[in-house]
Structure 1
Amino acid sequence: MKRSALVLLTLIASTFCFAQKGKPLFTYPLGVQSYTYRASFPNSVVATLDTIKALGITEMEGPNPKNISPEEFKKLLDERNIKMPSIGLDYNLVVGNPQGAVRLAKVFGSEYVMVAWIPHGKTFTIDDAKKAVTDFNAAGKVLKENGITLCYHNHGYEFGPYENGTLFDYIAENTNPQYVSFEMDMLWAFHGGADPAKLLYKYKSRWKLMHLKDIRKGVANDLTGGTPIKNDVALGTGQINVPEVLKAAKAVGIKHYFIEDESPDHAAQIPVTIKYLKSL
């Protein structure tokens, strides 16, 4: 073989090996939280769903917007091959009428019902946490008996100190793992002072779902469970170490990921988020 040909083959082989080393970190279906499009759905459900499909999104965390029935919304989702593995419902609805939550989840073929907010006063207290534990265990049992998993979605205020840990630790350690699981919201965990990756590893068997979101640089952490919506930024442009969190999420077995961008600039930011996820 001529030297020039040998050099060329060596170069091709080394290039191929280099390309093979870079395995993608994010390999799951792209999902979105329907709340992201809360301002668009009232104008046109069909046009909004077409926009979502055009982005390559194949999963949504619902339920349906207020201006369309669950059955009709499910039909529109099916037409666009968008699945709804999880629905987010109000605490009082799930606790007061768990069978109603089951019925709605069944309409969408959802495996999970998510609760994102525990009612409380100005400050989230141990009494609030204790009540939530009792309520979640009871409602979660009913859901599990009907093939649905209840997930509590952290919101930042639960990371206030309690004994040797936090109020979130109290909830995680006192809810029954058979009946209660969790959805990780990266932004709210971080904003509440927790380390999202470490929290995933700490309760690794409990996490089933994730909200993909990032918070603007320079925003200080607090326990309010709130921040102006303009502080939601495209993934990878804020404060959170996204690759570290995604590695932890993959390690603990999370399979459903939903982009949630509450910003008024979400239409411009979501393509940036998707491009970033695919680049990892």
Structure 2
Amino acid sequence: MCGEEAEKFHSRRSVLRGAATAAVAVGAAVALPGVAGAASAQSAQESESSGHGRHRIPVDKISIQLYSLRTALEADLEGTLSALADIGYRKVELAGTYGRSAQEFRGLLDKNHIQASSTHVGIDGDLDQTIADAKVLGNTRANVPFAAFDTIQGWKDFGGRMDAAARAFLKAGIPLGYHNHAHEFAAIDGVLPYDVLRANTNKRLVHLEIDLFWAVDGGADPIEVYRKNFPRTTQYHVKDRTADGQMVDPGQGVIDFPRIFRATRPNLAEYIVEHDQPADPLSTARNGFEYLRHLRF
């Protein structure tokens, strides 16, 4: 989430939070029919508890949303990017360029051997310029970070705008997707906006970036969201949640990431660390990278 979208979202946050605490440990509560039999499920649980899972996340699939580091980037742009490189990041997801042109920001990324593989963008402004900047920055994916409508028709109309924008992005070789918060999983007239959005966008054009914290916070099961939309889900935002709904660094809460990742591993291109309001942005960046780097599932 970035810019005006972020501000709009935080002003709505108290309204959008639902009674989803019971769904926090969603991975532990979800049966996985067709994924494993009883014996293999038991083996997987034993492997998880011993810390020796079969899979790991390659470093080139670990990224971080720079919105998490906005205060540090505003204070010291070059030093913060250098610190991210020192931690081990080779990819980031953008949320603006902090007063620099696309070319200038790309130069700073190249200097630190970091690729801005993904970006959060709006689609209601100068779309041609947005796409041109994305190409300069080297983005291989783009995502709309936020949308909110009070009616189902509003979500249907937005789906049409997403399709049109996605066609323009794809001509430049950059797939466009949508990043969720919690309110997409709150029914309007008995219908989930998320279902409306996916039904009113072309699955070959619009991919889905699932924010795991907000999906769980909205009462959704990320595994089922992934499966219902396969192969549209290509990116995760990885941020954790305490039992009482507080956002914390990955691995410091109760969301069962190993179980989610194990059940949804195919087609995932990026696992993106994020925290909307970190007390220490670089500490969050370090904690997230180390958690994902050493995770076995």
TM bin (shorter chain): 0.7 to 0.9
Match of residue 154, structure 1, among 174, 180, 183: 180
1:266 to partner: Cα distance: 3.4
Separation of aligned partners in 2, 1:104 and 1:54: 26
Change (3 A) 1:236 1:27: same
1:129 aligns with 2:155: yes
- Alignment partners' CA distance in 2, 1:78 and 1:139: 28
CA distance in 2, matches of 1:210, 1:31: 10
Percent sequence identity is 27
Tell me if the contact between 1:133 and 1:175 (Cα under 8 Å) persists in the aligned partners: yes
Q: CA deviation at 1:173?
A: 1.6
Q: What is aligned with 2:286?
A: 271
Alignment partner, residue 138 of structure 2: 109
1:181 counterpart SS class: strand
1:254 aligns with 2:263: no
**Alignment coverage as a number of residue pairs:** 243
1:225-263 Cα deviation digits (max 9, x unpaired): xxxxxx321212213111122223422x11122111222
2:92 equivalent among 60, 73, 85: 60
Q: Which residue of 1 aligns with 2:71?
A: 39
Is 1:232 the equivalent of 2:247? yes
Q: Secondary structure at the match of 1:261?
A: coil
SS of 1:271's partner is helix
Q: What letter corresponds to residue 111 of structure 2 in structure 1? A: E
Counterpart contact for 1:213–1:235, Cα < 8 Å:
yes
Cα 1:127/1:165, change in 2 over 3 Å: closer
1:171-215 alpha-carbon deviations (Å, 9 max, x no partner): 112211122111111111111110112211111111122211112
Gap runs ≥5 in structure 1: 1-18, 220-230
Asked whether the 8 Å contact 1:233–1:261 carries over to 2, the reply is yes
Question: Following TM superposition, where does structure 1 have runs of at least 4 consecutive aligned residues deviating by more than 4 angstroms?
Answer: 162-165
Q: How far is 1:216 from its partner? A: 2.5
Superposition RMSD in Å: 2.1
SS at match of 2:254: coil
* TM-score, reference length from structure 1: 0.80
8 Å contact kept, 1:182–1:206: yes
Secondary structure of residue in 2 paired with 1:49:
helix
Structure with the larger RCO, 1 or 2 (CA within 8 Å, 6+ apart): 2
Counterpart contact for 2:146–2:179, Cα < 8 Å: yes
On the 8 A contact 1:63/1:70 being kept in 2, the answer is: no
Counterpart in 1 of 2:54? 23
Structure 2 unmatched ranges of 5 or more? 1-49
Matched, 1:174 2:189: no
Equivalent residue number for residue 195 of structure 1: 221
- Give the CA deviation at 1:110: 1.0
Measured after TM superposition, the shift of residue 65 of structure 1 is: 2.9
Instruction: Return the TM-score normalized by structure 2.
Output: 0.76
Q: Partners of 1:133 and 1:86 in 2: how far apart?
A: 21
Partner residue of 1:99?
A: 128
Number of the residue aligned with 2:241: 215
Higher Rg of the two aligned structures: 1
